[in-house]
Amino acid sequence: MIEVDTTTALLLYMGLFLFLYLGAWAISHLKNRNKETLPPLYLLTTCEYCHFQYLGKNGTQISRCPQCSSLNKKP
Ligand SMILES: [Zn+2]
């Protein structure tokens, strides 16, 4: 019979628990790594005339600058 003292048994138990926990985390991380995310609702837009930066709605081609009220075309 193999004799194992309490400290060794506790270390083996903790090592096995840590190995299984990190293995489960690595598997879930690798599965979710390549998933596509939703497109952003707002994009940072710079006004062509006054160079003011604001958040314009994504999906529209023309947005209005809140500072000078001019229309800007998305790049
Ligand atoms: Zn502007």
Range of the domain at 3: 1-35
d(CA 47, CA 73): 9
Question: Is residue 31 domain-shared with residue 12, that is, in the same domain?
Answer: yes
3-state secondary structure of 33: coil
Question: Is residue 6 domain-shared with residue 25, that is, in the same domain?
Answer: yes
pTM recorded for the entire structure: 0.49
Render pLDDT for 13-56 as a digit per residue (tens, 0 to 9): 999 999 999 999 999 999 888 787 788 899 999 999 999 999 98
Question: Is residue 1 domain-shared with residue 31, that is, in the same domain?
Answer: yes
What is the distance in A from the centroid of ligand 1 to the CA of 61?
A: 16
Question: Is residue 2 domain-shared with residue 25, that is, in the same domain?
Answer: yes
Direct distance between the N- and C-terminal alpha carbons of the chain, in angstroms, rounded to an integer? 75
Question: Is residue 5 domain-shared with residue 30, that is, in the same domain?
Answer: yes
Q: Which two tokens stand for residue 45?
A: 């837009």
Question: Is residue 20 domain-shared with residue 47, that is, in the same domain?
Answer: no
pLDDT score at 37: 79
Q: Which two tokens stand for residue 1?
A: 């019979």
List CB-based neighbours of ion ligand 1 within 5 Å: 47, 49-50, 52, 65, 67-68
Question: Is residue 68 domain-shared with residue 47, that is, in the same domain?
Answer: yes
Question: Is residue 21 domain-shared with residue 46, that is, in the same domain?
Answer: no
What is the distance in A from the centroid of ligand 1 to the CA of 72?
A: 8
Q: How many domains does the chain have?
A: 2
Backbone angles phi, psi at 44, to 5 degrees: -70, 120
